[in-house]
Structures are given as structure tokens and as C-alpha cells.
């Protein structure tokens, strides 16, 4: 009798242990303890640029690198069109519209009787239909106000005004305190049929430099091809199925007329993005700038000279990036770089090399070392594929980022360097016992 009881106890213990090992192999993520790495504190530099406001951020991480009145609400003119683009891109993402969807030109977006030098527009009239893509392209490439009015009106939900649609998109991006009246960025009195009757003639769209950078970053995430669009020397659209209009772009003007006159010692490349030009905004520009090492920055300068000045805004843009590069050092962590080996008790071969799954750069002052810390990996996995995402790691950095920057932008994802198969139950049991 006693012998049978002993067998039952032993059997129960074995079953309990097997249950324990199975439970361990399927539990939640094992978050590793913070490594003993000294954290570095970084603050944005104060930009010396002659502009009302300015900001420089790392385009990939959202780290703020340089500021001047970056939280000040200012008139933004045609930089507004980036928010209109955001509404379009959300519509594309949700499947509500396609790039090929035809947009009718109504009287609200017909600017054919207006001087195109004063109110930038293309050769469309009420009754014409252009694709979403054509209007989107000319809105960026030539700052076409009629295209922005048409897209804003088309993307406005039923029962709402375009102003309310803009406010809705701004709210989704957390642009607190910003003001929106029309989708082209015209002063209210110059918005023609798009005027907001309840607002003054002088009312204008306002946002901060940081908020403009937030919109630009969101647009780039939804449409990475904006870089190529912004670099087009010509842009085309169909007035009829067989009649195509081709115009030179603002980028053509920049590259052929303006760039040769600019000081550019670091050979920075202007990849885009959107100008703003009204007497209220002055010369403004939200830029995508790349340096010779491939680092990409989002820049904003507002009030950089007279609104008709086609040189100062771009020179100011190059200057703020150059100032950052003079005072800050980039620490680039590269995809496929091995971080360390991690033990996975449930695998046949327990030692697994953990590698970075992406390349990112984080910035500090000069002559500062920056290391990675706080590796978090799911070590309970019982099977691994090579290059499988298994966790994340962070730079040992306390820095300023754009508001509402996702945590994932501030970290680096990590992956398995090898394929791993599950050990048998006895091996797993033994490893957990000892």
C-alpha cells in the first residue's frame, strides 16, 4: 500500500514538474534587468538662425536636435498642405479612396481666373476631374492651391466643413493649440469660396515648428515616396484622357536657380518637402535634408526673410542642419550588429546571438560615448526562425523627442541571429530544475 502511495506521489511530482516546464515555456516576455550602463543626457541646441522659429529633428527617431521658438504658434501658409496630404493618406490607408479615384473640380477650387503668381494654381476649371494622385503631386510639387482646395473638399466627411476636417486631422496628430481655416493655407480673406464666414479676413492657419515637423514625419511614414516626389523636375496631370499638361516644379526652380547661390559646405541634399509663402508667414520651409553619411533630418524654418525671397528660406534650412552637425555627434547602431548572446532554456542550442534588426542614429554632444542598455527579449520562446523579431533594446540616452513620438521610434528592435528548435521535454525539465 505504501509502495503504491509513493508511486502516486512521485507520479504527481513528475506531472507537476512537467506542467511547470510547459508553463514556463509559454509565459509572457522575460524582461531583462537594466544593464549597468551610464546614461547620457542630451538637450537640443539653441539655433542661431535669423528666423521667427525653427526646429531640426532626426527624421527616423524624432529626436529634437535644435530649436528656436519651436513651441511658438506662427502663421504657416502653404505648409498647411502637409495636413491636407495627411487626410488624403489616411483615406488611402483606410481604403476609402484610391490613388486613381477621380476628384471633381468644383467652383470652390476653380482658381483659373486668378493670377497664378499671387495664388499658385494649375490649369483646371470647374467640371474637370483629376485623380487623387495627380492633385496630390501638384499640391506638393507646385504648391497648387486649387489642388489643395479640391482634395480638402473631397476628403471632408459628409456633414462636416473642411475646417472641421482639418481640425479632426490635427487632433489625431495631437496638434494642440493649432488653428485651421482652409486646406491650402491661404489667409481667410484670400480663400475665395473657401472662406470661413465666422472668422475674420485676417485669420490664418497657425502651428508650431515642432507641430509642422510632426505632420511631416507622419506624412513620410504613410508615404515614403514623398522624397522622390519632392525631387521631380516636372509634374504632369490630365485635363482630358488624351490631353496631358506638364509643368516645371518648384524643385526645378530650386535646383537650377537657387541652389548654385547657396553656401553648402557639408554638401547637404534637400529632398523636399513644402514651402510656405505669405506676408504673414514670411519665407517658410519644412524640409527633408540628408547629409553625406545618409542621416536624414526634418527641418522647419518660419519667417526666414520676406515671403517672396526664394533664397533665404533654403539657406536658413542648410544653416540649421550645419549648426547641428557642428555641435552634435551621431551614434549609429547598424542592422545585423550583434548585441550579445542570450540563453533560451527551451531550445536545443541555448546560446542565441541577438542582433539589431534596424539601423538608427541617436545624437549627443561631441566627444560623448553612447551605449545600448535595457535589452528586453522573450527568452521563453521554444522555437526561433533566423531574423525573427524577439524584443528591443534602448540607447542609454535621456533626450528630447517630438511630442507623442512612439516608444518604438526611440528604441531598436532586435532579432534572432540563428534558427532554433525546441529541446525535448526531459532536457527542458532538467534545465529548469538545475
Tell me whether the CATH fold assigned to 27-42+332-433 matches the one assigned to 50-327: no
**CA separation (Å) from 411 to 21, 138, 397, 407, 414?**
32, 36, 10, 7, 10
CB 402 within 8 A of CB 208: no
User: pLDDT for 225-277, tens place per residue?
Assistant: 999 887 889 999 998 888 899 999 998 999 999 999 999 999 999 999 999 99
Kindly tell me if the per-residue pLDDT of 300 is higher than 60: yes
Kindly tell me if the per-residue pLDDT of 162 is higher than 50: yes
Domain 27-42+332-433, what architecture? Sandwich (2.60)
* Cell numbers representing residue 141 in the block: 510639387
Domain 50-327, what architecture? 3-Layer(aba) Sandwich (3.40)
Nearest to 175 by CA among 148, 223, 203, 213: 213
Rounded Cα gap, residues 262 and 274, in angstroms: 18
CB 301 within 8 A of CB 289: no
pLDDT recorded at residue 29? 45
Of all helices (H) and strands (E), which one includes residue 336? none
Helices 81-94 + 145-155 axis angle, to 10: 40
DSSP secondary structure string for all residues of 143-205: --HHHHHHHHHHHSPTTS-HHHHHHHHHHHTT-TT-B---SS---GGGSGGG--TTS-TT---
User: pLDDT for 75-117, tens place per residue?
Assistant: 999 999 999 999 999 999 999 999 999 999 999 999 999 887 7
- Listed by start position, the domains of the chain span 27-42+332-433, 50-327
The whole-number average pLDDT for the span 362-377 is: 94
Rg, C-alpha atoms of the chain: 28
Largest distance between two CA atoms of the chain: 105
Confidence category of residue 430, pLDDT binned at 50, 70, 90 = low
Nearest to 324 by CA among 359, 354, 289: 289
Confidence category of residue 21, pLDDT binned at 50, 70, 90 = very low
Decide: pTM greater than 0.85: yes
Q: Which residues contact 113 (CB under 8 A, 6 or more apart)?
A: none
* Cell numbers representing residue 410 in the block: 526611440
Confidence category of residue 31, pLDDT binned at 50, 70, 90 = very low
Kindly tell me if the per-residue pLDDT of 22 is higher than 50: no
CB 215 within 8 A of CB 173: yes
Amino acid at each position: 500500500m505504501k509502495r503504491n502511495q509513493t508511486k502516486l506521489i512521485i507520479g504527481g511530482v513528475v506531472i507537476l514538474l512537467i506542467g511547470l516546464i510547459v508553463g514556463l515555456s509559454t509565459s509572457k516576455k522575460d524582461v531583462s534587468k537594466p544593464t549597468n550602463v551610464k546614461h547620457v543626457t542630451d538637450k537640443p541646441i539653441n539655433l542661431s538662425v535669423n528666423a521667427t522659429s525653427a526646429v531640426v529633428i532626426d527624421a527616423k527617431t524624432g529626436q529634437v536636435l535644435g530649436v528656436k521658438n519651436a513651441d511658438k504658434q506662427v502663421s504657416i501658409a502653404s505648409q498647411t498642405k502637409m495636413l491636407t496630404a495627411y487626410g488624403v493618406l489616411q483615406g488611402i490607408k483606410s481604403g476609402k479612396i484610391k490613388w486613381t479615384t477621380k476628384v471633381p473640380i468644383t467652383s470652390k477650387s476653380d482658381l483659373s481666373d486668378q493670377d497664378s503668381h499671387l495664388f499658385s494654381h494649375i490649369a483646371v476649371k470647374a467640371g474637370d476631374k483629376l485623380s487623387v494622385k495627380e492633385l496630390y503631386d501638384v499640391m506638393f510639387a507646385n504648391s497648387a492651391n486649387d489642388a489643395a482646395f479640391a482634395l480638402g473638399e473631397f476628403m471632408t466627411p459628409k456633414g462636416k466643413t473642411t475646417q472641421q476636417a482639418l481640425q479632426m486631422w490635427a487632433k489625431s496628430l495631437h496638434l494642440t493649440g493649432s488653428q485651421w481655416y482652409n486646406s491650402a493655407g491661404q489667409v481667410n480673406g484670400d480663400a475665395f469660396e473657401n472662406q470661413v464666414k465666422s472668422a475674420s479676413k485676417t485669420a490664418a492657419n497657425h502651428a508650431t515648428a515642432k507641430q509642422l515637423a510632426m505632420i511631416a514625419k507622419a506624412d513620410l511614414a504613410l508615404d515614403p515616396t514623398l522624397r522622390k516626389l519632392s525631387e521631380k523636375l516636372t509634374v504632369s496631370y490630365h485635363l482630358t484622357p488624351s490631353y496631358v499638361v506638364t509643368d516645371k516644379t518648384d524643385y526645378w526652380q530650386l535646383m537650377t536657380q537657387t541652389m548654385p547661390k547657396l553656401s553648402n559646405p557639408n554638401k547637404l541634399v534637400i529632398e523636399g518637402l513644402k514651402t510656405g509663402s505669405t506676408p504673414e508667414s514670411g519665407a517658410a520651409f519644412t524640409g527633408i535634408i540628408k547629409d553625406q553619411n545618409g542621416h536624414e533630418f526634418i527641418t522647419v524654418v518660419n519667417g526666414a526673410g520676406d515671403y517672396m525671397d526664394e533664397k533665404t528660406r533654403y539657406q536658413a534650412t542648410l544653416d540649421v542642419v550645419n549648426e547641428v552637425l557642428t555641435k552634435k555627434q551621431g551614434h549609429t547602431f547598424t542592422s545585423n550588429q550583434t548585441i550579445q548572446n542570450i540563453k533560451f532554456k527551451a531550445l536545443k542550442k541555448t546560446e542565441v546571438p541577438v542582433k539589431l534588426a534596424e539601423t538608427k542614429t541617436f545624437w549627443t554632444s561631441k566627444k560623448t560615448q553612447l551605449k545600448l542598455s535595457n535589452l528586453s527579449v522573450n527568452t521563453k520562446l521554444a522555437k526561433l526562425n533566423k531574423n525573427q523579431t524577439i524584443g528591443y533594446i534602448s540607447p542609454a540616452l535621456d533626450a528630447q523627442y517630438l511630442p507623442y513620438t512612439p516608444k518604438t521610434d526611440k528604441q531598436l528592435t532586435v532579432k534572432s541571429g540563428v534558427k532554433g528548435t525546441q529541446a525535448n521535454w526531459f532536457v527542458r525539465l532538467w534545465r529548469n530544475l538545475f
